[in-house]
A = this chain, B = another copy of it.
Amino acid sequence: MAERGDREAFVTLATNDTYALGCLVLGNSLRQRAQTTRKLVVMITSGVTQPMRNQLSRVFDMIYDVNLLDSRDAANLQLLGRPDLSVTFTKLHCWRLTMFDKAVFLDADTLVLQNVDELFDREELSAAPDAGWPDCFNSGVFVFRPSEETYDSLLKFAMSQGSFDGGDQGLLNMYFRDWATKDIAKHLPFIYNVVSQAFYSYLPAFTQFKDFVKIVHFIGATKPWHHPYNTATKEVTPLPESGHNKDYLQIWWDIFMTLVQPTLDPSLREQMGGLVGELAALSLQSGVTCGGSQAHLSEQERKLNWERGQVDYLGADKFDNIKQKLDQSMKGPGTEGVDFSSTPFKGTSSSISISVSSKAKAPNPKK
């Protein structure tokens, strides 16, 4: 019989190469800093390129391809009529990782500071309160039991109820709706999902409890990788508009520069433009400040923010813009041919495949 460490996994998700950088740092934080004994899984969509997939396989034990609108799903035809739900459904695929008895989902913009393997002693669905509306849990960190039955049930629920925030958090909070009132054991302490801006909203509590923080969550549109980093001083410059705590940003960048960036295939620089190429090229220069602009925010990143309920309500994501885009699309030659690539809703159709990385690092010995 397999060891417990083999039947339990941390799971994350990358929908493009930039978020994959977040996954690489997260994976290293789990393995190197937190010394986990459990498996690491990254779910990826077709937005992740082959070179980046190779990078991910150096850190994660398993790469799990999820592509939306899998022909297996009985609900597919309905889904075709609900493009707005396809993004939400990406994360739900984690319930299909039935090779594991239990798993902990972590968003790509989280960072693990201390060992959190004790999370596997919790039951589904355990999660920490969301700082914005604390009777909802934040779906950036949660304990769950993979199950095809639960997956189907979630899908059906989504189809009939939708999601009040247009993302997985609204959906999961409605599905696991007794979380706020039923069982205190399913309330993960906030230290397992501390928003990096918490020091701003209640500084004394942050000061009191900061040494206990185990997982940091960089919510908001501006992620650690958008911050300016100086390769000479090895220091990150916090962007006031992001509100992220400098110490946490620095830990993210320290891990990135010591454990991720040196391993990045130099070809990424040529093959990929944008932020990923820029970060891959960093070592070739010295004393250079990299990053530092929200202009880096791609459509796909905006989509991810939308998914998290972090919607730019008055800007690009405002209702009028989205309605206009949908109206435009509806006038097109039919749903199949609709290009949602420039809206937050991008659906692709292919099958699901699993590939266990051959270069995965051996898990640490069990504690």
Contacts and interface: CB of A to CB of B under 8 A. Distances in A.
Nearest to A163: B204
Contacts of A180: 187, 189-190
Contact of A164 (B131, B191, B205): B205
A201 B132 contact: yes
A334 B352 CA distance: 77
A183 interface: yes
A216 to B, nearest CB: 14
A94 to B, nearest CB: 22
A202 B133 contact: yes
A130, A184, A191, A313, most chain B CB atoms within 10 A: A184
A133 B191 CA distance: 10
Interface stretch (A95-103, A109-117, A206-214, A281-289): A206-214
A205 B131 contact: no
A104 interface: no
A154 to B, nearest CB: 18
Given A164-B207, A207-B164, A133 B170 contact: no
Contacts of A132: 131, 198, 201-202, 205
A208 B131 CA distance: 16
B129 A202 contact: no
Contact of A181 (B130, B166, B184): B184
Interface in A181-239: 181-184, 187, 189-191, 198, 201-209
Which residue of A134, A180, A182, A198 has the most chain B CB atoms within 10 A of its CB atom? A134
A136 interface: yes
Nearest to A165: B204
A124 interface: no
B136 A202 contact: yes
B309 A190 contact: no
A135 interface: yes
A190 to B, nearest CB: 4
Contact of A201 (B129, B131, B202): B131
A14 to B, nearest CB: 24
A204 B135 contact: no
A133 B184 contact: no
A244 to B, nearest CB: 16
A198 B133 contact: yes
B131 A204 contact: no
A262 to B, nearest CB: 37
Interface in A236-257: none
Contact of A131 (B131, B184, B203, B309): B131
A203 to B, nearest CB: 6
Contacts of A190: 133-135, 180
Interface in A299-349: 309, 311, 313
10 contacts: A129-B134, A131-B131, A131-B133, A133-B206, A134-B190, A164-B207, A164-B208, A166-B204, A170-B208, A181-B184
Interchain residue pairs A-B with the least CB separation, the first 8: A132-B202, A165-B204, A133-B205, A132-B201, A129-B134, A134-B134, A135-B190, A184-B184
Interface of A: 128-136, 164-166, 170, 180-184, 187, 189-191, 198, 201-209, 309, 311, 313
